[in-house]
Every structure is written in C-alpha cells, then in structure tokens.
C-alpha cells in the first residue's frame, strides 16, 4: 500500500516493495520451450526476408527461427551472436515493432507479426545459460587496440577484435561497464541485472583488459592512445545533456531524465527513490517515455509528457507512446516550454502551443501552465570532450561507413559518431563493422 506521507511534493516510498516489484517486472514475458516452437512455426522463412533487411545487424532471421523450430536453440543463438554479440540485450530493448517485425509478411497480411524479438531472446537466453561463450580467440596477431567506452558499440568492437586475435584494452569512465544498457534504459526492459550478466559473458572470450574510471580527455587522451596502441576505437556515447534554454531552468527539481533513469537503474531499493506527485517530462524520444513511465510506476499521481511537435514527428515509436498512455501517462503534442515558475523550486511550467508553417515550428501565442513538483528534461544529449583533432559533423564525430574518422588510425561508432540511429542495435553494428575494418587495415599493413 502507498505510504501515508506520500500526498504532496517529492517523497520516497509512495508504493511498497510488492507493488514496485510488480510494476518493474519484465515488460515482455519469456517464452517457454513450447511457446517458442509455436511462435517459430508462424514464420514463412521468406527467401527474400524483409525482416533481415530491416535489422541493422543483418541477422539471418529466417535461419535462426528455423533453428528454433527444429529444436536447436543453441545453433539459433550462434546465428544471432555471429552478427550481434549483444543479441540478448537487443532482444529486450530493440524497437522490433519499427524494424524487423514492422516489415514481417505476417504483419502485412494479418497485422500480427512473428514475434522475432521474443524468439531472439529465447534462443540467446538458452545459449547463454547453457552453453557459455560460443566463440574462441584466433592466434595472437601481436596487435593492440584501445577501445574507449564499454557500451554497446565499444563492447561489440572489443569482442570482435578479441576473437580475431588482437589484444584489446577497454576504457570506460564509469565504475562498471555496459554503457547505455546498464545506465540508460528503463528497468522493466532489462531485469535481474542482465546487463552485467551479458557483460561478463561477453568478456569471457578473453583478450580484453578492462580499465574502469578512465574518461577520455581527463584520465586518458587520444594522442597518448595513438602512441600506445596500433589502433583506437571511440565508442563513449553521449555524456552531456541539451539545455532547455528556458527561463527558470535552473530552479530546484528540474532534472535530467538521463540521470533519473541512471539513478533508478542503480538503486537497490526503489522505495528509497524520491518521486514527485506531479511530474512533467519534456521531450518526445525513448528517454522521455522511459522517464515518464518509470515515474508513474514509482507512484507519481500525475505524469505528463510534452513534445513540441506532432505525434507523427516523435522519435519514440507508436508502441512506446501507447505503452506510456497505457500506464497512465498523458502526452501533450505541439507545445514547448517558455518558462518554469516557482520560488526556488519548480512549481509550474508554462507552455506555448506550436504549429508548423512552411516546415518551420512557430508558437501560436496561446499558452497554458502545468503545476509540477519535478521536471525531467529529455531533449537529447551531446558529446563531451571531443578531441580537437577530429572532424565533427552535426555535433558528432564524422565517420565513414566503416567507422573511420578524419584521423588516421582512429575509428568511432555508436551515439558519439555520425553513423546512424541512436539505437543499441545500430551501435552494435557500427562497433562490429569498425572492428572488421580495423582488422583488415592492421593485417593488410602487416602483410605489405
């Protein structure tokens, strides 16, 4: 039952342990053996599989589903891991509804796609539990590579390089690895400490020396890494948060949604985590949805997401938007903040309605105010500490299709690079492809 003190302001313990445990349980229940066989049987095993084309890591989806259907989930997992070594986490957090499942033939014909994400989770969970690390390291090449960032891109790059026989040193600014998977996604998407379990499983391949508490720019420099290693991969993600540039932004209880999600993910007792009675989340992406839903699950009575453009422009998928509203989150479109009011602490947010004219966003002149206890900013992140030697494109490190930066011997991928969408699965693909290109460059240079 809610605590009796949880009526106003920002307090902890709005809900008790039992309710919180239920609220933050697994978003997608795990398939058992029989359910996996039934789900796999729905696949047409298309020859020109559109699902495979839609997957950023190009997993052979028809093959891995057929392998499940024939009772060999370990072989299925190997098919997945050969393209996406973080296939277990991606099965949990990947927006399959807008990627592989959206283009599934079953979706087109019946509006009910094959459950590709859940089948991928079934296969990878079975293999990680039963079979351990499926890859062995090749003979040592004698080459050393520095990988900065132990998030999806860095881990994918480090693992592939280690398998190819290189010695990898993995640096990360945090006290533990996982990056976005550990600190930046909703708790109900990855339960039971899966990010750390997957990290340990990945590192068990060997050949990867991990050094935590090492931030680029303060503890290590790109210039020194270039001297000490044969190649460098940068995958440190985005450390900064965009400002609202709104009057009153500096008031108390105006917080970064990213920090809120990180604190929640690292909390050992959710009854100790304070949450407001009235919460406003500003933004329209996955982070905004994660923050809003989790605020509601912690016991906030009134949670509102406000996005400056229309529903069709939100980067959060329709599935994520529907998830938010199903949990009691109200979403207001076409409104942007103009002022945060309150005496010291935030008490209200004034918004102006917007419209798009000739492709440009403008305010209509009509405003409204939402009363608040907490405001979470989720309007995008920025990269911190970019070395001056690197070419920057739209605030990120400019890279080629294979992750090569403007500096010889330096690659980059994931959210800090100019490659693709800010998704875990895309970061994995970029880290993997950069590793392959690094390997080709080092071996080709050695054979000259």
- Report, as an integer, the average pLDDT of 278-285: 97
pLDDT at 6 over 60: no
- Report, as an integer, the average pLDDT of 306-324: 94
pLDDT at 101 over 50: yes
* Residue pair 154/179 in contact by the 8 Å Cβ criterion: yes
pLDDT above 70 coverage of the chain, percent: 97
pLDDT at residue number 308: 96
Residue 4: pLDDT band (50, 70, 90) is very low
- Report, as an integer, the average pLDDT of 233-241: 90
pLDDT at residue number 8: 60
pLDDT in tens, 347-396: 999 999 999 999 899 999 999 999 999 999 999 888 877 888 999 998 89
Say yes or no: do domains 10-22+241-377 and 33-130 share a fold: no
H/E/C letters for each residue in the chain?
A: CCCCCCCCCEECCCCCHHHHHHHCCCCCCCCCHHHHHHHHCCCCCCCCCHHHHHCCCCCCHHHHHHHHHCCCHHHHHHHHHCCCCCHHHHHHHCCHHHCCCCCCHHHHHHCCCCCHHHHHHHHHHHHHHHCCCCCCCCCCCCCEEEEECCCHHHHHHHHHHHHCCCEEEEEECCCCCCCHHHHCCCHHHCCCCHHHHHHHHHHCCCCEEEEECCCECCCECHHHHHHHCCEEEECCCCCEECCCCCECCCCECEEEHHHHHHHHHHCCCHHHCCEECEEEEECCCHHHHHHHHHHHHCCCCEEEEECCCCHHHCCCCHHHHHHHHHCCCEEECCEEEEEEECCCECCEEEEEEEEEECCEEEEEEEEEEEECCEEEECCCEECCCCCCCCCEECCEECCCCCCECCCCCEEECHHHECCCCCCHHHHHHHHHHHHHHHHHHHHHHHCC
pLDDT at 258 over 90: yes
Residue 5: pLDDT band (50, 70, 90) is very low
The CATH architecture that domain 144-239+383-446 belongs to is 3-Layer(bba) Sandwich (3.50)
- Report, as an integer, the average pLDDT of 303-317: 94
pLDDT at 2 over 80: no
Residue 1: pLDDT band (50, 70, 90) is very low
pLDDT in tens, 74-100: 999 999 999 999 999 999 999 999 999
Classify domain 33-130 by CATH number: 1.10.1060.10
Classify domain 10-22+241-377 by CATH number: 3.50.50.60
pLDDT at residue number 283: 96
Domain segments of the chain as ranges: 10-22+241-377, 33-130, 144-239+383-446
> What residues form DSSP beta bridges with 320?
none
Q: Which of 1-5, 51-55, 169-173 has the lowest mean pLDDT?
A: 1-5
pLDDT at residue number 422: 78
Q: Which of 6-20, 156-170, 252-266 has the lowest mean pLDDT?
A: 6-20
Arithmetic mean of pLDDT over the chain:
94
């Amino acid at each position: 039952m809610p605590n009796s003190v949880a009526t106003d302001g920002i307090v902890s313990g709005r809900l008790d342990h039992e309710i919180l445990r239920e609220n933050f349980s697994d978003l997608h229940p795990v398939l058992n053996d029989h359910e996996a066989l039934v789900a796999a049987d729905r696949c047409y095993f298309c020859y020109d599989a559109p699902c495979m084309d839609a997957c950023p890591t190009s997993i052979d989806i028809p093959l891995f589903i057929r392998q499940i259907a024939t009772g060999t989930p370990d072989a299925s997992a190997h098919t997945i891991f050969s393209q996406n070594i973080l296939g277990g986490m991606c099965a949990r957090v990947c927006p399959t509804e807008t990627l592989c499942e959206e283009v599934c033939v079953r979706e087109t014909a019946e509006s009910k796609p094959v459950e590709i994400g859940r089948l991928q989770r079934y296969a990878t969970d079975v293999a990680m539990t039963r079979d351990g690390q499926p890859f062995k390291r090749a003979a040592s090449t004698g080459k050393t590579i520095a990988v900065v960032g132990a998030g999806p891109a860095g881990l994918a790059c480090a693992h592939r390089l280690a398998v190819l026989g290189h010695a990898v040193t993995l640096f990360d600014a945090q006290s533990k690895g996982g990056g976005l998977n550990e600190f930046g996604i909703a708790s109900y998407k990855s339960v039971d400490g899966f990010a750390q379990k997957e990290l340990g499983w990945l590192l068990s391949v060997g050949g990867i020396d991990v050094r935590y508490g090492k931030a680029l720019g303060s503890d290590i420099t790109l210039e020194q890494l270039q001297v000490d290693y044969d190649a460098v991969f940068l995958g440190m993600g985005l450390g900064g948060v965009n400002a609202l540039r709104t009057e009153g932004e500096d008031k108390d209880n105006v917080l970064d949604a990213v920090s809120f999600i990180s604190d929640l993910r690292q909390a050992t007792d959710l009854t100790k985590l304070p949450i407001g009675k009235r919460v406003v989340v500003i933004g329209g992406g996955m982070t905004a949805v994660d923050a809003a839903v989790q605020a509601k699950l912690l016991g906030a009575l009134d949670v509102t997401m406000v996005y400056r453009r229309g529903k069709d422009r939100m980067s959060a998928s329709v599935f994520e938007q529907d998830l938010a509203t199903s949990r009691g989150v109200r979403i207001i479109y076409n409104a942007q903040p103009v002022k945060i009011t309150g005496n010291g602490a935030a008490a209200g947010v004034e918004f102006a309605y917007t419209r798009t004219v000739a492709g440009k966003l403008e305010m209509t002149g009509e405003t409204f105010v939402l009363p608040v206890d907490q405001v979470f900013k989720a309007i995008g992140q920025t990269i911190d500490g970019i070395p001056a030697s690197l070419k920057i494109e739209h605030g990120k490190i400019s890279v080629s299709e294979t992750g090569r930066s403007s500096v010889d011997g330096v690659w980059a991928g994931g959210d800090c690079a100019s490659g693709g969408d800010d998704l875990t699965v895309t970061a994995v693909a970029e880290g993997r492809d950069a590793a392959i290109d690094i390997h080709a460059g080092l071996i080709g240079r050695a054979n000259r």
